[in-house]
Amino acid sequence: MKKRILSVLLCALIAAGCVLGGCSPKDPVADREAKQSTDKYRNFYEIFVQSFSDSDGDGTGDLQGIINRLDYLNDGNPNTGDDLGIDGLWLTPIMPSKSYHKYDVENYYDIDPAFGTLDTFDNLIEGCHDRGIKVIMDLVLNHISSRNPLFTKAAFEVSDGKLDGNAQYFEIHKNDYFGDDVQTLALGGDYACEANFSLEMPEWNLNSQKTREEFTKIAKFWLDRGVDGFRLDACKYYTNKETDGKEFLGWFVKTCRGINPDVYIVGETWSDDSDIVELYGSGIDSQFAFKYATNSGTINECINTMKGNNLVTKVSNYDSKMRKENKDEINAMFLSNHDQIRIANALEPNGLDFEKFAASVYMLFPGNSFTYYGEEIGMTSPGTTGDANFRTPMVFDSENLQKISVDNLGDTFEAPKYGGVVQQQKDKNSLLNFYRRIITVKLQNPEIARGQITGIQSFDDDTVGAFYTEYDGKKIMIIHNFNKTETKSLTITDDMIAKATLAADLVGVEKEKVTFNGGKLSLPPHSSVVIRSAE
């Protein structure tokens, strides 16, 4: 009996010592099961195809290269922790084009030979679907390549005075139709075609019945082939003198849903809130939240100024505004993409914790997250101007760099500060493993992506950003400590979350730990937690 009492006392003393001495608590993420997404809510990964993975050594990334890397992106089991956990892919344009960016499409029904074949594409779709990955592809509906046969025939017909043929597909008018600020491609006689982006990219007439019939064929071709949706380029420019952009977008969304009711469509509307709100009225699923992204965006600004409460309030108001126009809106948050200086250029100089914390902040807001390839290992842009600087080759092994040539950059670029995928996989505290953990947390807690923000919790501290989301009758609270140096001591009451328990912690600063006992939460600098009711 005495030995038993001594044993109990010893265990109590050890437990007390752990509390007082700061022993590592059990990892809360290890106790929960991650479940594969089955709906439109996804953790998307944007791939600029030419720069991601070269399968045949010709200096160009290709579709087979992506297939070869699928196990890195998602091994098909959300609980292994050996993969990134990505369950959505966005492929930049893969259709035939002479340009390296491929946004001037010469044939909407084929794959650029540099990337592979339709058979290779089919294999990619099959491999993705086997792993639970949905695939969306870039679709360019605002403009076309001047080399596309539909346009070359139109140009020939117009020069011969024929306007009732292929000219109906395009914004072809007499010169006096266009304002002085409109760039046009001369077609002979008094006629020209609008071409604001480039003289090599004349613009479709989105109001034309012939155009809409062609777009229906294009959408059906790819959706029937297994594509799960589209990223629509340049939605802001769908409106012109005779075309209502909202009406056109609504028509296209409805058309696609008539082919596949589960299609997912996200639009690029690089504009202010009023334009985004208007286009949400079309019924489109998502539009990118541009003002929160980029090096000068609201997320990076609030991280630098440590205004956590300010950020979550702004995102809540933004989401509420969009949902008034479309109750099924899925916000699309991101940090950078193929058109912008990589976010690591701004974050890396401040320290790894800034990169980790930025990832937590944007990925834990409701909606779909979009991660630009290489962002998960801290890739930077070698220059600040020219798109090629933002599209350098993916670094799988910093000791064996891919020799992929990107436009005028050639194959000159630097590996990330902390190494490539191979190197970061071996470091449990790497940025790559932090991204893995975030996605695991999201798959364990469906309320994060699918919930609506139902309230802000201030804690009377502007450096703390805390909000509630509710989904399927369950409520969670997400808390971020935006302070870069100070640990926050917060009290979580039953009025906030009944029977609160720590569901997940994401700590940006190495060797710092979150503790949560008796409603008392200790939140280190640049860390985030998910609090939910004990189940």
Residues annotated as catalytic (active site), given as ranges = 233, 268
Sheet strands (E) in 10-155: 43-47, 88-91, 134-139
Tokens of 335: 């940090």
Sign of CA dihedral 379, 382, 384, 389: negative
Q: Greatest CA span in the chain, whole angstroms?
A: 108
Residue whose C-alpha is closest to residue 267's, from 278, 259, 258: 278
Q: Specify burial of residue 461 (Cβ count, 10 A radius: 0-12, 13-18, 19+).
A: middle
- Please state, in angstroms and as integers, the Cα–Cα distance from residue 377 to each residue in 68, 296, 348, following that order: 19, 21, 11
Query: Are 104 and 198 within 8 A, CB to CB?
Result: yes
Q: How many CA atoms lie within 13 A of 57 on its CB side?
A: 0
Sheet strands (E) in 133-235: 134-139, 172-174, 184-188, 191-194, 229-232
Q: How many CA atoms lie within 13 A of 139 on its CB side?
A: 29
SS (H, E, C) 230-297: EEECCHHHHCCCCCCHHHHHHHHHHHHHHHCCCCEEEECCCCCHHHHHHHHCCCCCEEECHHHCCCCC
SS3 456: strand
Which residue is associated with the tokens 């997912």? 264
DSSP-derived secondary structure letter, 164:
S
Q: Report d(CA 453, CA 476) in Å as an integer.
A: 10
Torsions phi, psi for 483 (to 5 deg): -70, 130
Query: Are 274 and 304 within 8 A, CB to CB?
Result: no
SS3 79: coil
